[in-house]
Amino acid sequence: MNVTLDVWLITIALMAVVFIVDLWVMGRRPHEPSMREAGITIGVFIGLAIVFGLGIWWVADARYAGEFFAGWLTEYSLSVDNLFIFVLIMANLRVPRKLQQFALMFGIILALVFRGIFIALGAAAIERFSWIFFVFGAFLIYTAVKLYLDYRQPDDDDDGTENAVMRFVRRRFRSTTEFHGTKLVVRVDGRRLITPMLFVVVALGTTDLLFALDSIPAIYGLTQEPYLVFTANVFALMGLRQLYFLIGGLLQRLVYLSVGLSIILAFIGVKLVLHAMHEYGLDERLGFNGEIPIWLSLLVILGTLAITTVASLLKSRREAA
């Protein structure tokens, strides 16, 4: 896929404008979005992603469009799963509902920065070292197994926000006990103090960094085009803030989401290993073709998400009854 520098710059500029406008509008009036507002915004962003994918189909071909849609769906699903952690962070740090939108926007911006760095590093590694696919594949299979085991034996410790970075910030800087709107730093009695909002931003940022370790190898298992990797990640993050408020309690009802994601990650991990074998001609020596077509990947992702969502809602309904 031949993407010129001009196309890269235009794409980055347009997406930056969308996020800047979103941040400016939200920053002027921090509030908890209504169901109607959140639903309309998410619908617009999903529509933009679909139009973009169809545009890829028209400009390039169906293969690249399929890679974009597969990558976007996978990243979007991982982002929904990440909302569980965001809910936990907001609850543990007692963030007022009207300020949660501001905190989430900061978290999404940090996620974009971290994923951009990992995308560039991943593209450079793939271009120089074919064996990196073995590493990515093994890591995704390990992540899938760990995700499934965490589902089978959940950790009841709710203090998941206290990572090493958070502990360092707490020890190093003096802070207030109350939120001061969206301010990260305030001056009290002549002393500069950090606010709990800064702790929230640090918690979301460090969590996003860990999420990028999973999501970038996963999408490189579906496409090796950096442009598609980048745009799929950006579209997956668009509307995530509104989705947080829209589905709220629905997150607790998606009990099998982790199982579905573990299946998807394991599938992509195997796909990466088979692709690496194909790069070295090992599959041909063993008498099979190691390349899995993108249409099959898209079918597995859609089918798994549909089954796990329906099964989750049915189980939640039975338990409620």
The ranges assigned to domains in the chain are: 5-320
Q: What is the CA radius of gyration of the chain?
A: 21
pLDDT at residue 158, rounded to an integer: 46
More confident residue, 309 or 81: 309
Mean pLDDT of 149-178: 68
Q: How far is residue 14 from each of residues 8, 24, 135, 241, measured CA to CA in Å?
A: 10, 15, 34, 19
Rounded to 10 degrees, what is the CA torsion of 226, 138, 115, 290? 20
Q: For 218-253, what is each residue's pLDDT tens digit?
A: 888 888 888 999 999 889 888 777 777 776 656 667
pLDDT at residue 30, rounded to an integer: 61
CB 190 within 8 A of CB 92: no
Q: For 130-140, what is each residue's pLDDT tens digit?
A: 788 888 888 88
What is the residue-averaged pLDDT of the chain? 81
pLDDT > 90: what percent of the chain? Answer: 11
Average the pLDDT over each of 1-5, 153-157, 256-260, 288-292 and give the range with the smallest value.
153-157
User: Pick from 162, 238, 241: which is nearest to 200 by CA?
Assistant: 162
Cα separation, 230 vs 3, whole angstroms: 12
The token duo for 128 is 């120089």
pLDDT at residue 65, rounded to an integer: 93
The token duo for 31 is 């509030």
pLDDT at residue 50, rounded to an integer: 95
Whether 79 shows a pLDDT value over 60: the answer reads yes
Burial class of 247 by CB neighbour count within 10 A (0 to 12, 13 to 18, 19+): middle
Q: How far is residue 237 from each of residues 51, 68, 115, 125, 241, measured CA to CA in Å?
A: 16, 14, 11, 24, 8
